[in-house]
Structure 1
Amino acid sequence: MTGGVAAVVVAGGRGTRVGGDLPKQYRSVAGTTVLRRTLTAFTSHPGIAAVQPVIHPDDEGRFAEAAAGLAVLRPAHGGATRQASVLAGLEALADRAPDIVLVHDAARPFASPALLDRAIAAGRTGAAIPGLAVSDTVKVVDGAGRVAETLDRSRLRTVQTPQAFVYPALLAAHRKAAAAGRHDFTDDAALAEWAGLSVAVFEGEPGNVKLTTADDFRRAEAELLAGLGDVRVGSGYDVHAFTEGDHVWLGGVKVPHTQGVSGHSDADVVLHALVDAVLGALAEGDIGVHFPPSDPQWKGASSDRFLAYAIERVKARGGLIAHLDVAVVCEAPRLGPHREAMRARIAEIAGVSIDRVGLQATTSEKMGFIGRSEGLVAYATATVRLPWATP
């Protein structure tokens, strides 16, 4: 590909102001990482042909998980400053030579398609940035804490990303700044101005917020959840008979036992029940509809694939998993020693925190086929949040 529109998504920062050790772009907001939300906004836009992420060298594993399944280019490694990271992303696009490049901060995950449309159109003018009018009065304060000047707010704008440029001009400007030893530009518009480019301003979006502090994350999650008011609850059930063997799969964990279980796949009753619960919440049938046992490709298959598929069905509808809960009924094996490993594995497959996974185990008090140790049963409940459907 040459020409067209490309985007550089800058995701190499450490995000220390939000607290903790995890960089903010890899933190979740309403069940999805900030970076995945940001990348999805660009990869899903029909006018953007290539998305070039720029990441910290230590974040390869985190990035691979956050970007799994998205059509992005191999990430470039960023530098010590945002300016250096943008230059690394621009250089990585050199072989593609796009006409227009959008430069966007990964910590702004809510850029709308309409904003990207405006950015692409404005970028064709040479250099353009999204801005919002200032509604508050702005004062300049001197060293003694006294007002030195009141600015004319009609001429002021707060600036966002994506900032849009003719690609060759921005690349040349960045190379010029690097050669001149200038590494102090905090946004690309300031660098472009220094290099002599005329920068226009187009309409930004109030919702295109940058997540910086813990309060920012709390507000963003509250707003997202407010838009996911269609709360669904699904239930699932699965049963398998014991047979010869030395282990059973439960919740994605291999549990040693004196017997195995019979089934077309790995016969994991916990994951199978969860799949039915999630699909039930979506009103999309059950595991047999999507993975029929008559299909030989699923013989012996690992059931984590089935649950991951069901979770993706939720995400495809703009929803998220609020909670997963499972009760296992069997006389043996004892699940207590494996409970936390099972919860952790389910949380990993579902892409949720472990506190959103419940797991209980009980016996049937020696009654029925379970009491006779002929098999085991799992009951599951899935709580899913979806956007309200437009009539």
Structure 2
Amino acid sequence: MRDVSEKHAADDKVAVVIVAAGRGARAGQANGPKQYQQIGGGAVIARTLDAFLTHPKIGPVVVVIHADDGALFRRAAGANADRVVAVTGGTSRQESVRLGLLALRSHAPGRVLIHDAARPFVDAELIDRTIAAIGERQGALPALPVADTLKRETAEGMIGETVSRAGLHAAQTPQGFPFWPILAAHEKAHHLGKADFTDDAAIAEWAHIPVKIVPGSPDNVKLTWARDIAMADQRLSSAPRFPDIRTGNGYDVHAFEPGDHVTLCGVAIPHRKKLSGHSDADVGLHALTDALLATCGVGDIGTHFPPSDPQWKGAASRIFVEHAAKLVRERGGRIANADITLICEAPRVGPHREAMTEALSAMLRISRDRISIKATTNEKLGFVGREEGIAAIATASVVFPGDVPE
């Protein structure tokens, strides 16, 4: 699991604390705490993590777990365990949230979302609404108007009165806040020994932090009882789904300049010219790098390896491909196929195809049968036809964990 002090590229990313330290006794202990029970073929917490880790506005994520659940969490989270920081929680939800917030101090986020792991059906739209409502001194609470008629019970178990539901809302998570005010409110409550708050909006209210209500989602249910787990599993198991397979494309071109070889797909080929570029100008690997980065939406090769940076002068382009493949794996992706088409009049690619395939197999950590390298001429047309340079087109297919609803 990574260090929470690691800086993220965008300072405006929103941090997240996911509370997963409870025992979930009401859901039954036969299959372990509810956040680790299976719904739709995966753990509850795995689905919750995926909702946040795939959201473009989310930065560092802290998961607060029980002291006994380290191995259980890693198994449930899979590859995502290395993308978050896991910290040990306290004896109450309130204390666990405080410890999660403390773990974010070194990152100093501007905003933070606090979410219950047992709400696995949170969606991107709800996350967006909550984030949008957070102000410098204002929190945000997703909630639904109460629809049921409410009754107050007497000590004898009789109806004492009917409570008006006007203006009443059922609170959900994630609840969003400016980071430093909500941390200060939690710290103050802790030092004063006030440990009876049932959610973070209540602590904000006590600390005079205004909280704006935003529309919640009927689907964003909290799994509390064993029947909730069973219904969630049935819901996911019966819903039409398709695998999360993503395809990325990349294109690159480099001009010729005087030299004695070109580097294509990691292989040096003797030639009367070389390709011009800040690195080794491997046009095939540059196109493939962009294709891989596209599958997880993390920019292009220039974002990660700007040509203005002198450290990449003359660098082997396999560095770029291996970096992109690492980013894919960190997000739980598995590279299923890589296809590269080299467009040039010369040199001949065919005699070097096997060596190129072997080099790519090592870079991507996939078998040779998942790699395709092709070459074509431009029929003497354009800059390629005039032998002024080489172009390349690459396509990468990546399978990411989990299914996507139809």
TM-score range, shorter chain: 0.5 to 0.7
CA displacement, residues 39-89 of structure 1 (integer Å, 9 cap, x when unaligned):
110010001111111111111111112222226332111001101100010
The Cα of 1:4 is off from its aligned counterpart by 3.2
**Cα distance change on mapping 1:6 and 1:230 into 2, 3 Å:** closer
Q: Secondary structure at the match of 1:50?
A: strand
Q: Secondary structure at the match of 2:17?
A: strand
1:209 and 1:42 map into 2 onto residues whose CA distance is 16
Aligned length, in residue pairs: 252
What is the distance in 2 between the residues matched to 1:105 and 1:72?
18
Amino acid at match of 2:162: T
**8 Å Cα contact 1:118-1:202 kept in structure 2:** yes
Residues 104, 162 of structure 1: 8 Å contact kept: yes
Assess if the C-alpha contact under 8 Å between 1:53 and 1:89 holds in 2.
Answer: yes
| Number of the residue aligned with 1:209 | 221
The 5-angstrom pairing of residues 1-391 of structure 1 reads: 1=7, 2=11, 4-19=13-28, 20=30, 22-70=32-80, 72-124=83-135, 126-228=138-240, 313=399, 315=401, 317-318=403-404, 387-388=405-406
Contact 2:61–2:85 (CA under 8 A) maintained in structure 1: no
What letter corresponds to residue 14 of structure 2 in structure 1?
V
**Is contact 2:131–2:140 with CA below 8 Å preserved after alignment?**
no
Q: Please give the root-mean-square deviation of Cα atoms over the aligned residues, in Å.
A: 2.7
Query: CA shift at 1:226, angstroms?
Result: 2.4
Q: Mark the CA change 1:48 to 1:229 in structure 2 (over 3 Å): closer, same or farther.
A: closer
What's the secondary structure of 2:105's corresponding residue?
coil
Question: Which letter does structure 1 place at the counterpart of 2:41?
Answer: G
Residue 196 of structure 1: CA displacement?
1.9
Displacement after TM superposition at 1:169 (Å)? 0.5
In the TM superposition, residue 317 of structure 1 has moved relative to its aligned partner by 4.5
C-alpha distance in 1, partners of 2:47/2:194? 32
Instruction: Provide the rounded CA distance (Å) in 2 between the counterparts of 1:314 and 1:196.
Output: 43
* Cα deviation code 1:317-360 (max 9, x no counterpart): 43xxxxxxxxxxxxxxxxxxxxxxxxxxxxxxxxxxxxxxxxxx
- CA distance in 2 between counterparts of 1:101 and 1:76 reads 16
Give 1:146 deviation, angstroms: 3.0
1:235-273 CA distances to partner (integer Å, 9 max, x unpaired)?
xxxxxxxxxxxxxxxxxxxxxxxxxxxxxxxxxxxxxxx
* Runs of 4+ off more than 4 Å: 294-298
Residues 31 and 37, structure 2, Cα contact 8 Å, conserved in 1 = no
Asked if structure 2 preserves the Cα contact closer than 8 Å seen for 1:127 and 1:166, the reply is: yes
Change (3 A) 1:295 1:16: farther
Cα displacement (A) at 1:137: 0.9
CA contact (8 A) 2:242 2:403 kept: no
Q: Distance in 2 between matches of 1:28 and 1:209?
A: 16
Q: Which secondary structure does the structure 1 equivalent of 2:85 belong to?
A: coil
The one-character-per-residue Cα deviations of 1:182-237 (angstroms, maximum 9, x if unpaired) are 11212111111112222221110000011111110111112112212679xxxxxx
What is the rounded CA distance, in whole Å, between the counterparts of 1:89 and 1:57 in structure 2? 14
Structure 2: gaps (5+ residues):
1-6, 244-335, 338-356, 371-397
> 5+ unaligned residues in a row in structure 1: which ranges?
232-283, 286-293, 307-311, 319-386
Quickly say closer, same or farther: Cα 1:26–1:6, change in 2 above 3 A.
same
8 Å contact kept, 2:151–2:162: yes
Take 1:75 and 1:110, find their aligned partners in 2: how far apart are those partners?
Answer: 21
Structure 2 distance, partners of 1:174, 1:202, is: 22
Could you say which residue in structure 2 is the equivalent of 1:281?
none
Task: Give the Cα–Cα distance (whole angstroms) in 1 for the partners of residues 121 and 241 of structure 2.
Answer: 19
**In the alignment, residue 177 of structure 1 is paired with which amino acid?**
A
Letter in 1 for 2:50: T
Cα separation, 1, equivalents of 2:51 and 2:13: 17
User: In the aligned structure 2, how far is the partner of 1:69 from the partner of 1:230?
Assistant: 20
Q: How far off is 1:314 after superposition?
A: 7.7
Could you report, residue by residue, the CA deviation over 1:291-318 in whole angstroms, capped at 9, with x for unpaired residues?
Answer: xxx85969xx999xx9xxxxx9484543
Tell me, what secondary structure is at the counterpart of 1:153?
A: coil
Residues 316, 144 of structure 1: CA spacing in aligned structure 2 closer, same or farther, 3 A cutoff? closer
**Identity among equivalent pairs (%):** 43
Cα deviation for residue 3 of structure 1 reads 5.0
TM-score scaled by structure 2? Answer: 0.57
Partner of 2:327: none
Q: Could you tell me whether the CA contact under 8 Å between 1:116 and 1:162 is conserved in 2?
A: yes
